[in-house]
C-alpha cells in the first residue's frame, strides 16, 4: 500500500507529493528551527495537563491553573447548557420530530411523525395495497436534517424488535442500477449482521456463488432472519435519476412477494412535483401515505429560550449574535443542529479567548493569583464607565481604591459580577413575562421570545411598541381579566408592596360591587359613545366618554396604578446589558468570529487579497496606495489589470500591460523572461480560480468570467 | 504594433505609445493629413489597449488635467456622428486585420476621414501639448502611463464609430454596473495583437527563471504564515469540540498543513496522534485510496486483505472499525485542496461529507478556489460541520497547477510533450537503433521543411524568433507516405508493418503528432519547438 512508504517522494521543500499518506514526522523535524521557544511553552502546558487545549492568555502571562480553570469552566457550563437544550426540546416540543442528539434522550419521549411512520411501516403490507409497493412520502421542506434523525430512530426501533431495518440510500449511492442494488443489499445485511456477516452471506452459500447485486441474496437474508419490514429510504429522492428510479421500483415490485419492501421517499419540494417526474406506469406500482415534517424555526426558539432565559443562567449571548443566529436560521435554513453548534462556538470563543471568563467559575480557589487579572479588569471599557459613574456620584475615594488595591477590586468585581448576572436573569424573566402577556387573546400582535430577547438585549424593549400594546390592552381589561392577568405576572412584580396594595384595593372594590357584569375602566371601548350630529347637512361623528358609574371610576384608578407600576418595573429591569459593569465577562456579543466562521465569504477574501494585497501583507514600504507596483505579488498585479478589462481580454495586451509594470520599475535591466514566468504563474492561478477561460472567438483572447464584488 | 521597439530616451510605461504617435507622424511628415488619419486608427487600437491597464482611481484624477482637449473635441464628435459615410469609413479602417493591408484597399476611407482633419487639428495639437507636458514631469511612472492615454483616446475617439459607448468606466462603478458596462453588446473592443511575436516559455525556461526569482513580499508572507501558525492551538480546540475545519483564502496552504501536522504530532508527543494527509490536487487520486489509507491508519496491520472495490464499502468498514474500537484515538485527516478537480465531483464530496460526519474523524480541509462553497448543499454542510477560517497565505500554487501547460492551453497553444527535449531524448536512448534513425529522419525532414517556410515569415515582421519555429513545428508535418519512403530508402524499415510498429512507439510516448489533412492523407509532426527539434537532432547525430 502506497501509504506505507511515505518518505519516497518528497519535494525539496519537504512536502510530500503523494496523493494520500500517513504522516510521519521528518527526521530533521524542520519545524523545530522555526520557533523553538513557542513550541516548548506549548509542550510544557500539554504535559502538565494532557487534556486542556487552552493556551495561556494575557500575553502568555496567565498561569497554568487559571488556564485550566477556564477550560473546566467552559466544559462545566456548556455541558449544563447542552443538557438543557436536550431536555427543553423534548419537553416543550412533544410533537416536534427533530430531537437533538437522539442517542442522549430517553427513548420514551416520542414524536408524532415517528409514531405514525412506524405505524405505517408495521401495518402496511403489499396485501393491504393490492400488490403495490407501500410508500411513505415524507416532505421535509427546509428541515433537511430531521429526516436522517427520523430514519435513525426508525432503524433503531425496527432492529431492536427484530422486525427489519432501514436502508438509507442517497443519490450519490445510486449511479446505476447494479451499484444501487449492491448497495441496498450490502447495507441491509450489514445493518444487522455486520461486515463479516455480509461477506459470509456472499461466500458461504449453497449452490452457485451469487453476484453482489442479486436480490436472491437479500431474499435469503429476509427468509433466514424472518424480516417483516425492510424500509428502503431514499433521502433525497428528487436527486435520483428518474429512469433509475423507474427501474428500481419495477424491480422492487416484482420481488415484493419475497422481500417485504417499504419505500420511504424524502421529498423536499412537493409530492406533485415528485410524481410528475415519474412515468404513470411507475406511479401505479406504488401506493402510500403522505407525512409532513415541520419547520425548524419553532424548535430553534425553544432552544434559545432554554439557553438564555434559564433561571440559573450565568452567561449570555448578546444581541448581535442572536440576530445573526436567527437570521441564518430563517434565511439560510440552518438546521437546528447548526444553531446549537453556533451557540456552542460562541461559548467556546468566549472561554478560549477571554481571560476574564475565569471569573464565571462557581468558586474560585483562594490562592488564585489575580494581579494580572485585576490589570485586565482595569482595562475594560465597562470598568472605566463604572468609575466615571462613581465619580459623578461623588465617591472618588472608592475609585481610588479600585485603581490601587487589587484585593478590593477583585472582591468588588466578583460582587458586581453576581449582581450583573442577576440583572440579566431579571431581564429574561421580564422577557418571559412579556411573552406570556402577549399570549393573552386580546393582543393581536404576537412576538416570539427571540424577537423580544433581541430587543431586550439591545435595551430597547421597554420603549418598544410591543410593550405599549400590552399597556393599552391592560388598560382595557375588565376586572375579571385583570385578575387573570395578575396571575401571569412574575413573582418579582406581584411580591412588591405597592402592588399588594393595588391588589388589596381591587379585591376590596370587587367585594362591594356585586354585579354579574365585570367592572370596566374608562379606556374600555364600551364606555366610549359615538355621537351623531348633523351640521349643515353633513353627518358629524364625535366620540365622547359615557358617564361612568362610580365603581368604574374607582376601577379606572386601579388600572392606572397597575400600569404605572408595570411601567416603572420594566424601566428598572430592562436596562441595556452593555451598561452593566463587567458585562464583558458574562455577555458575549462579538458578531465577527462567529459570522465569518460559519458564513464565510471565500470569494470576497480572494478578491480582496488580490485587489488589495496589502490588506494582508503588512507593507514595509510607504507606498501602499492603490497603485499597482512590483512590490505586490505577481498575481495581484495581473488581477488588477484584469479587472480593468472588458469581457474579452487580449492576452497579448494583458501581457504588455503586465510587462510595462515591471519595465517601469526595473528599467532596462528588466528580465523579460523572468517577467514572463511570473505572468505564466499569475495567469494559471487566475485560470485555476475560474476567473478566465479560453475563448474561441478571437485568437489569443481569454474570456473574463468573474466580476469583482458580484 | 511596434511597442516592443526599444526606446532610447525614456523608460516610462507610456513611452511606447507616445513613440508610436511620433513615429507615425514622423515618417509621413510630407503630408499632414494622411498621418492624422492613420494616427486615429492607431489611437483607436491604443485606446483599447490602454483601457486594459487603466486604473480607475487614477483615471479619475487624470480627467481633470486635459480639460481643454475634451471640451474642444466634443463638437467635432457631434459632427462626426452625423456623417454616416465617415462612420462607415472609420469602421472599415477598424475592421482591418492587419496593418499591412493598410495602404492598399482603403484609400477611400482615408480620404473621407481626411476632410475632418481641418476641424480636428486644434484638438490634436492641444492633446499633444498636454501629452508633452505630462510626460515632461515623469516623476511617477504609473501616472504618466495613464495620463497620455486618456487625452489621446479622447481626441482620437470621436473618429470612431463607437465613440459613445466605449469609454473606460469612470470612477467607482458599483459591481453590477461594472458588469453590465463590460458586457455591453457589440463587437469585442480588443486589439488584434497576438502572442506570435512574444517568445513563450518552455517548461525548462519557466522553472529555471522561477528558481532565480526573489520574492519581494517574502518577509510579509512569512509574517502572515506566522499569524496562521498561532491559531494551531485554537484549531486543536475546535477539533476537540467536534468541529471540522475548512481553511480558505488566496494562496497555497500545503506548507501550513504540513506545519500543523508537525505541531499536532509534537504537541501530543507522548501519544502521537494518527495523521493522514491527502493531496487533493494529485491528478488521479481516488476517494477509495483515501479511505483505504485511513483504514490502514486505524487498523495498522489488521487490515483485511480484501477491502472492496467501492469507496462506500471501505467507508463502512472504516466506520464499523471505529465503532468497535472504543479506545481508538481520533484520526486527523488533513486534506489539501478539497476543491481540486479530481475531488470536486458531487459524488466524491458526498462521500467525504460522510467521512467527516464519522465520529473520531477530525477533518481539516483547505480550499483554494473562490467559489468552493457551491460544492456543498445544506445537508452536506451539516454533515461536514465545518468552521471556516480565512488563511490567506499568498504562497504560489506551484505544485497544484501545471503552470506552463495551463497557460498554453488557455491561449490555444497545443500542449506540448511534458518532457520536452530532455524527455524525448530520454525515450530515444531506450529505443533501438532503428527507431532512433527514424526519428532522426523525421526531424531532419521537418526542419528542412520549416526552413523553407520560415524565411518568408521572417520578412514579414522583422523579428523572427523562436516563436516562428515553434509555430511552424506545429503547423508543418510530413506526409506518412513520404516518411515511409524516406525510411525505406535509408533501410530503417523494410515493411510498412515494421514502420508502423516504430511509429507506434513514438505515439505511445507522445513524441509525434498525427492528423489528417484535407486530402485525407496522414500528416506526421513533432510536438517540439524548433530549437528543441534542433537540439534533439543534434544529439541523435552526435551519438
| Number of domains chain B contains | 3
pLDDT at B121: 43
The residue of A334, A677, A679, A706 whose CB has the most chain B CBs within 10 angstroms, and thus the best one to mutate to test that interface, is: A677
* Among A156, A244, A198, CA closest to B316: A198
pLDDT at B246: 93
**Of B176, B192, B208, which residue sits at a domain end?**
B192
Asked if A195's CB is within 8 angstroms of B317's CB, the reply is yes
pTM for the whole thing?
0.68
Q: In the predicted model, is pLDDT for residue B14 greater than 70?
A: no
Instruction: Measure Cα distances from A16 to A363, B247, B361 in Å.
Output: 50, 19, 22
Distance CA(A601)–CA(A605), nearest Å, equals 6
What is the average pLDDT value for chain B, to the nearest integer? Answer: 69
CB atoms within 10 A of CB B135: 17
CATH number at residue B316: 3.40.50.300
> Within this chain, do residues B74 and B20 fall inside the same structural domain, yes or no?
yes
Chain A CB within 8 Å of residue B27 CB:
no
Provide mean pLDDT across the span B320-338: 86
Query: What is the residue-wise DSSP string for B354-387?
Result: HHHHSTTEEEEEE--STTGGGG--HHHHHHHTEE
> Within this chain, do residues B434 and B370 fall inside the same structural domain, yes or no?
no
Residue B403: which of A335, A668, A684 has the nearest Cβ? A684
Residue B496 domain flag: yes
Residue A22: which of B195, B241, B293 has the nearest Cβ? B293
pLDDT at A275: 84
Distance CA(B144)–CA(B14), nearest Å, equals 6
> Within this chain, do residues B443 and B370 fall inside the same structural domain, yes or no?
no
Q: Which residue is it, cell 523525421?
A: B442
Distance CA(A530)–CA(A608), nearest Å, equals 66
Residue A21: which of B183, B251, B293 has the nearest Cβ? B293
Asked if B201's CB is within 8 angstroms of A680's CB, the reply is yes
Residue B413 domain flag: no
Chain A CB within 8 Å of residue B138 CB:
no
pLDDT at A442: 65
Cα end-to-end distance, chain B, whole Å = 44
pLDDT at A516: 66
Contacts of A689 in chain B (CB under 8 A): 368-370
CB atoms within 10 A of CB A177: 15
The three cell numbers locating residue B329: 484515538
Q: In the predicted model, is pLDDT for residue B321 greater than 80?
A: yes
Domain ranges across chain A:
2-57, 102-293, 301-459+574-586, 602-704
Instruction: Measure Cα distances from A370 to A343, A358, A419, A542 in Å.
Output: 29, 11, 21, 71
Q: In the predicted model, is pLDDT for residue B245 greater than 90?
A: yes
Confidence bin at B365 (pLDDT 50/70/90): very high
> Within this chain, do residues B47 and B127 fall inside the same structural domain, yes or no?
yes
Q: What is the DSSP letter of B87?
A: H
Contacts of A30 in chain B (CB under 8 A): 262
The per-residue pLDDT for range B454-473, each reduced to its tens digit, is 554 444 443 333 343 344 44
pLDDT at A616: 83
> Within this chain, do residues B377 and B425 fall inside the same structural domain, yes or no?
no
Confidence bin at B39 (pLDDT 50/70/90): very low
A206-210's contacts with Cβ under 8 Å and 24+ in sequence apart are none
Positive/negative CA dihedral, A392, A395, A396, A400: negative
* CA angle (A559 as vertex; A558, A562 as ends), nearest 5: 90
Residue B116 domain flag: yes
The per-residue pLDDT for range B145-186, each reduced to its tens digit, is 333 333 333 443 344 334 444 445 556 778 888 888 877 776
> Within this chain, do residues B357 and B294 fall inside the same structural domain, yes or no?
yes
Q: Which residue is it, cell 506545519?
A: B259
CB neighbour class for A392 (10 Å; exposed up to 12, middle 13-18, buried from 19): exposed
Interface of B with A in 263-302 (CB under 8 A): 263, 265-270, 272, 274-279, 282, 284-285, 289-290, 292-293, 296-297
The per-residue pLDDT for range B81-121, each reduced to its tens digit, is 445 555 555 565 555 444 444 444 445 445 545 554 544 44
Provide mean pLDDT across the span B251-274: 86
What is the distance, to the nearest Å, from the Cα of residue B293 to the centroid of all Cα atoms in its chain?
A: 35
Residue B265 domain flag: yes
pLDDT at A426: 85
Distance CA(B254)–CA(B249), nearest Å, equals 13
> Within this chain, do residues B62 and B137 fall inside the same structural domain, yes or no?
yes
Q: How far is B362 from chain A (nearest CA, A)?
A: 14
**Of B390, B407, B438, which residue sits at a domain end?**
B390
Residue B410 domain flag: no
Residue numbers of the domain that contains B232: 218-390
> Within this chain, do residues B146 and B55 fall inside the same structural domain, yes or no?
yes
Q: How far is B184 from chain A (nearest CA, A)?
A: 9
The three cell numbers locating residue A428: 429574561
- 10-residue mean pLDDT profile of chain A (710 residues): values are 40 63 66 41 42 74 79 84 66 38 34 74 73 81 68 81 83 82 86 78 75 84 83 84 88 86 84 85 84 65 78 82 81 73 87 84 74 84 88 85 84 86 86 80 71 83 80 76 76 74 80 70 65 71 66 79 83 82 83 81 89 79 61 86 84 87 74 86 88 78 82
Contacts of B402 in chain A (CB under 8 A): 684
Residue A653: which of B52, B229, B387 has the nearest Cβ? B52
Q: What is the 3-state secondary structure (H, E, C) of A521-550?
A: CCCCHHHEEEEEEEECCEEEEEEEECCCCH
* CA angle (A705 as vertex; A699, A707 as ends), nearest 5: 130
Residue B399 domain flag: no
**What backbone torsions phi and psi does residue A43 show, to the nearest 5 degrees?**
-60, -40
Residue B304 domain flag: yes
Tell which CATH architecture fits domain A102-293: 3-Layer(aba) Sandwich (3.40)
> Within this chain, do residues B235 and B381 fall inside the same structural domain, yes or no?
yes
Asked if B382's CB is within 8 angstroms of A144's CB, the reply is yes
Residue B6 domain flag: no
User: Taking CB atoms and an 8 Å cut-off, how many pairs form between chains A and B?
Assistant: 377
> Within this chain, do residues B369 and B437 fall inside the same structural domain, yes or no?
no
pLDDT at B334: 92
Alpha helices in A268-335 (DSSP H): 271-277, 280-283, 297-308, 319-331
CB neighbour class for B336 (10 Å; exposed up to 12, middle 13-18, buried from 19): buried
Contacts of A652 in chain B (CB under 8 A): 191, 193-195, 198
A646 three-state secondary structure: coil
The three cell numbers locating residue A78: 456548556
The per-residue pLDDT for range B433-456, each reduced to its tens digit, is 888 888 888 888 888 887 765 554
Asked if A338's CB is within 8 angstroms of B220's CB, the reply is no
Q: Higher confidence at residue B203 or residue B343?
A: B343
Alpha helices in B157-253 (DSSP H): 175-182, 203-212, 218-229, 232-240
Whether residue B446 contacts residue B526, with contact meaning beta carbons closer than 8 Å, is answered with yes
> Within this chain, do residues B360 and B443 fall inside the same structural domain, yes or no?
no
Distance CA(A18)–CA(B320), nearest Å, equals 27
Q: What is the 3-state secondary structure (H, E, C) of A109-130?
A: CCCHHHHHHHHHHHHCCCCCCC
> Within this chain, do residues B147 and B223 fall inside the same structural domain, yes or no?
no
Positive/negative CA dihedral, B315, B319, B321, B327: positive
Amino acid at each position: 500500500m502506497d501509504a506505507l512508504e511515505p518518505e519516497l517522494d518528497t519535494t525539496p521543500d519537504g512536502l510530500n507529493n503523494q496523493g494520500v499518506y500517513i504522516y510521519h514526522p521528518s527526521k530533521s523535524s524542520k519545524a523545530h528551527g522555526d520557533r523553538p521557544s513557542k513550541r516548548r511553552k506549548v509542550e510544557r502546558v500539554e504535559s502538565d495537563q494532557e487534556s486542556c487545549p487552552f493556551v495561556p492568555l494575557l500575553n502568555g502571562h496567565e498561569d497554568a491553573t487559571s488556564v485550566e480553570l477556564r477550560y473546566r469552566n467552559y466544559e462545566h457550563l456548556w455541558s449544563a447548557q447542552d443538557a438543557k437544550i436536550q431536555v427543553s426540546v423534548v419537553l416543550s416540543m412533544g410533537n416536534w420530530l427533530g430531537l437533538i442528539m437522539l442517542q442522549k434522550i430517553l427513548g420514551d419521549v416520542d414524536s408524532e411523525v415517528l409514531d405514525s411512520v412506524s405505524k405505517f411501516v408495521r401495518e402496511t403490507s403489499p396485501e393491504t395495497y393490492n400488490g403495490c409497493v407501500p410508500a411513505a412520502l415524507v416532505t421535509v421542506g427546509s428541515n433537511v436534517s430531521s429526516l436522517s434523525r427520523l430514519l435513525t430512530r426508525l432503524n433503531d426501533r425496527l432492529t431492536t424488535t427484530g422486525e427489519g431495518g432501514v436502508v438509507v440510500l442517497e443519490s450519490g449511492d445510486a449511479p446505476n442500477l447494479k451499484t444501487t442494488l449492491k448497495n441496498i443489499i450490502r447495507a441491509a445485511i450489514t445493518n444487522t449482521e455486520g461486515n463479516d456477516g455480509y461477506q459470509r452471506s456472499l461466500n458461504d452459500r449453497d449452490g452457485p456463488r451469487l453476484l453482489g447485486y442479486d436480490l436472491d441474496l437479500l431474499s435469503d437474508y429476509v427468509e433466514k432472519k424472518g424480516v417483516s419490514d425492510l424500509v428502503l429510504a431514499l433521502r433525497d429522492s428528487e436527486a435520483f435519476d428518474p429512469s433509475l428510479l423507474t427501474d428500481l421500483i419495477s424491480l422492487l415490485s416484482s420481488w415484493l412477494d419475497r422481500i417485504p419492501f417499504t419505500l420511504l421517499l424524502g421529498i423536499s419540494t412537493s409530492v406533485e412535483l415528485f410524481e410528475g417526474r415519474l412515468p404513470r406506469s411507475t406511479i401505479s406500482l406504488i401506493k402510500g401515505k403522505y407525512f409532513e415534517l415541520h419547520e425548524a424555526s419553532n424548535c430553534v426558539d425553544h432552544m434559545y429560550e432554554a439557553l438564555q432565559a434559564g433561571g440559573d443562567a450565568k452567561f449570555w449571548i448578546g444581541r448581535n449574535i442572536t440576530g445573526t443566529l436567527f437570521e441564518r436560521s430563517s434565511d439560510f435554513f440552518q438546521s437546528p443542529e447548526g444553531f446549537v453548534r453556533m451557540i456552542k462556538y460562541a461559548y467556546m470563543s468566549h472561554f478560549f479567548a477571554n481571560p476574564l471568563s475565569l471569573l464565571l467559575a462557581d468558586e474560585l480557589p483562594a490562592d488564585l493569583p489575580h494581579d494580572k487579572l485585576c490589570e485586565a479588569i482595569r482595562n475594560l471599557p465597562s470598568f472605566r464607565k463604572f468609575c466615571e459613574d462613581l465619580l459623578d456620584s461623588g465617591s472618588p475615594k472608592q475609585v481610588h481604591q479600585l485603581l490601587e488595591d487589587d484585593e478590593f477590586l477583585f472582591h468588588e468585581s466578583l460582587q458586581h459580577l453576581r449582581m450583573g448576572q442577576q440583572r440579566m436573569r431579571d431581564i429574561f424573566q421580564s422577557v418571559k413575562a412579556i411573552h406570556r402577556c402577549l399570549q393573552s387573546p386580546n393582543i393581536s400582535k404576537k412576538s416570539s421570545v427571540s424577537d423580544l430577547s433581541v430587543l431586550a438585549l439591545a435595551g430597547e424593549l421597554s420603549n418598544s411598541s410591543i410593550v405599549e400594546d400590552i399597556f393599552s390592552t391592560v388598560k382595557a381589561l375588565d376586572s375579571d381579566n385583570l385578575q387573570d392577568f395578575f396571575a401571569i405576572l412574575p413573582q418579582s412584580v406581584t411580591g412588591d408592596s405597592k402592588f399588594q396594595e393595588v391588589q388589596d384595593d381591587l379585591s376590596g372594590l370587587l367585594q362591594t360591587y356585586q354585579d354579574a357584569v365585570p367592572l370596566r375602566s374608562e379606556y374600555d371601548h364600551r364606555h366610549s359613545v359615538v355621537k351623531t350630529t348633523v351640521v349643515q347637512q353633513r353627518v358629524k361623528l364625535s366620540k365622547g366618554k359615557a358617564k361612568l358609574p362610580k365603581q368604574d371610576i374607582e376601577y379606572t384608578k386601579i388600572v392606572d396604578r397597575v400600569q404605572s407600576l408595570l411601567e416603572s418595573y420594566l424601566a428598572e429591569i430592562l436596562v441595556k446589558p452593555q451598561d452593566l459593569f463587567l458585562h464583558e465577562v458574562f455577555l458575549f456579543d462579538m458578531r465577527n468570529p462567529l459570522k465569518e466562521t460559519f458564513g464565510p465569504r471565500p470569494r470576497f477574501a480572494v478578491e480582496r487579497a488580490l485587489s488589495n494585497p496589502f490588506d494582508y501583507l503588512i507593507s514595509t514600504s510607504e507606498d501602499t496606495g492603490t497603485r499597482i507596483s512590483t512590490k505586490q505579488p505577481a498575481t495581484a498585479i495581473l488581477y488588477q489589470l484584469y479587472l480593468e478589462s472588458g469581457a474579452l481580454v487580449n492576452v497579448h495586451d494583458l501581457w504588455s500591460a503586465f510587462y510595462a509594470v515591471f519595465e517601469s520599475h526595473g528599467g532596462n535591466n528588466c528580465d523579460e523572461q523572468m517577467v514572463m514566468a511570473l505572468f505564466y504563474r499569475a495567469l494559471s492561478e487566475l485560470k485555476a480560480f475560474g476567473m478566465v477561460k479560453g475563448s474561441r472567438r478571437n485568437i489569443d483572447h481569454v474570456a473574463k468570467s468573474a466580476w469583482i464584488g458580484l | 504594433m511596434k511597442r516592443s521597439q526599444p526606446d532610447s530616451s525614456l523608460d516610462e510605461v507610456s513611452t511606447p505609445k507616445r513613440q508610436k504617435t511620433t513615429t507615425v507622424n514622423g515618417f509621413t511628415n510630407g503630408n499632414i493629413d494622411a498621418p492624422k488619419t492613420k494616427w486615429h486608427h492607431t489611437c483607436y487600437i491604443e485606446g483599447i489597449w490602454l483601457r486594459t491597464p487603466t486604473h480607475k482611481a487614477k483615471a479619475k484624477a487624470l480627467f481633470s488635467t486635459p480639460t481643454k482637449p475634451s471640451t474642444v473635441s466634443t463638437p467635432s464628435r457631434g459632427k462626426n456622428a452625423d456623417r454616416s459615410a465617415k462612420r462607415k469609413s472609420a469602421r472599415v479602417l477598424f475592421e482591418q486585420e492587419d496593418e499591412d493591408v493598410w495602404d492598399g484597399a482603403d484609400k477611400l476611407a482615408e480620404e473621407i476621414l481626411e476632410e475632418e482633419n481641418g476641424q480636428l487639428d486644434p484638438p490634436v495639437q492641444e492633446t499633444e501639448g498636454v501629452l508633452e507636458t505630462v510626460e515632461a514631469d515623469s516623476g511617477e511612472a504609473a501616472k504618466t502611463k495613464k495620463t497620455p492615454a486618456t487625452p489621446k483616446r479622447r481626441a482620437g475617439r470621436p473618429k470612431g464609430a463607437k465613440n459613445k459607448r466605449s469609454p473606460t468606466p469612470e470612477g467607482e462603478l458599483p459591481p453590477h454596473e461594472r458588469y453590465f458596462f463590460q458586457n455591453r453588446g457589440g463587437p469585442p473592443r480588443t486589439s488584434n495583437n497576438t502572442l506570435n511575436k512574444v517568445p513563450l516559455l518552455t517548461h525548462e525556461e519557466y522553472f529555471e527563471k522561477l528558481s532565480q526569482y526573489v520574492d519581494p513580499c517574502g518577509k510579509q508572507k512569512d509574517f502572515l504564515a506566522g499569524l496562521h501558525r498561532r491559531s494551531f492551538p485554537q484549531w486543536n480546540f475546535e477539533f476537540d469540540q467536534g468541529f471540522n475545519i475548512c481553511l480558505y483564502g488566496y494562496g497555497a496552504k500545503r506548507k501550513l498543513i504540513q506545519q500543523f501536522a508537525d505541531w499536532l504530532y509534537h504537541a501530543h508527543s507522548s501519544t502521537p496522534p494518527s495523521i493522514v494527509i491527502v493531496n487533493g490536487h494529485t491528478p488521479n487520486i481516488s476517494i477509495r485510496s483515501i479511505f483505504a489509507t485511513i483504514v490502514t491508519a486505524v487498523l495498522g496491520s489488521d487490515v483485511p486483505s480484501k477491502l472492496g472495490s467501492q469507496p462506500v464499502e471501505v467507508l463502512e468498514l472504516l466506520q464499523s472499525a471505529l465503532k468497535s474500537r472504543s479506545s481508538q484515538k481520533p484520526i486527523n485527516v488533513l486534506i489539501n485542496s478539497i476543491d481540486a478537480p479530481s475531488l470536486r465531483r458531487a459524488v466524491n464530496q458526498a462521500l467525504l461529507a460522510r467521512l467527516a460526519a464519522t465520529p473520531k474523524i477530525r477533518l481539516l480541509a483547505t480550499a483554494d478556489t473562490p467559489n468552493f462553497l457551491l460544492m456543498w448543499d445544506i445537508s452536506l454542510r451539516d454533515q461536514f460541520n465545518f468552521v471556516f477560517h480565512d488563511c490567506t497565505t499568498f504562497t504560489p500554487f506551484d505544485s497544484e497547477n501545471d503552470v506552463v501547460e495551463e497557460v498554453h492551453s488557455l491561449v490555444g497553444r497545443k500542449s506540448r510533450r511534458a518532457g520536452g527535449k530532455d524527455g524525448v531524448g530520454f525515450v530515444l536512448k531506450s529505443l533501438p537503433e532503428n527507431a532512433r534513425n527514424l526519428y532522426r529522419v523525421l526531424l531532419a525532414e521537418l526542419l528542412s521543411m520549416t526552413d523553407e517556410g520560415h524565411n518568408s515569415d521572417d520578412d514579414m515582421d522583422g523579428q523572427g524568433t523562436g516563436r516562428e519555429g515553434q509555430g511552424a513545428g506545429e503547423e508543418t508535418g510530413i506526409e506518412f507516405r513520404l516518411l515511409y519512403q524516406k525510411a525505406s530508402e535509408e533501410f530503417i524499415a523494410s515493411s510498412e508493418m515494421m514502420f508502423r510498429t516504430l511509429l507506434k512507439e513514438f505515439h505511445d510516448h507522445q513524441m509525434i503528432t498525427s492528423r489528417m489533412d484535407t486530402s485525407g492523407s496522414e500528416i506526421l509532426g513533432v510536438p517540439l519547438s524548433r530549437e528543441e527539434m534542433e537540439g534533439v537532432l543534434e544529439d541523435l547525430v552526435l551519438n
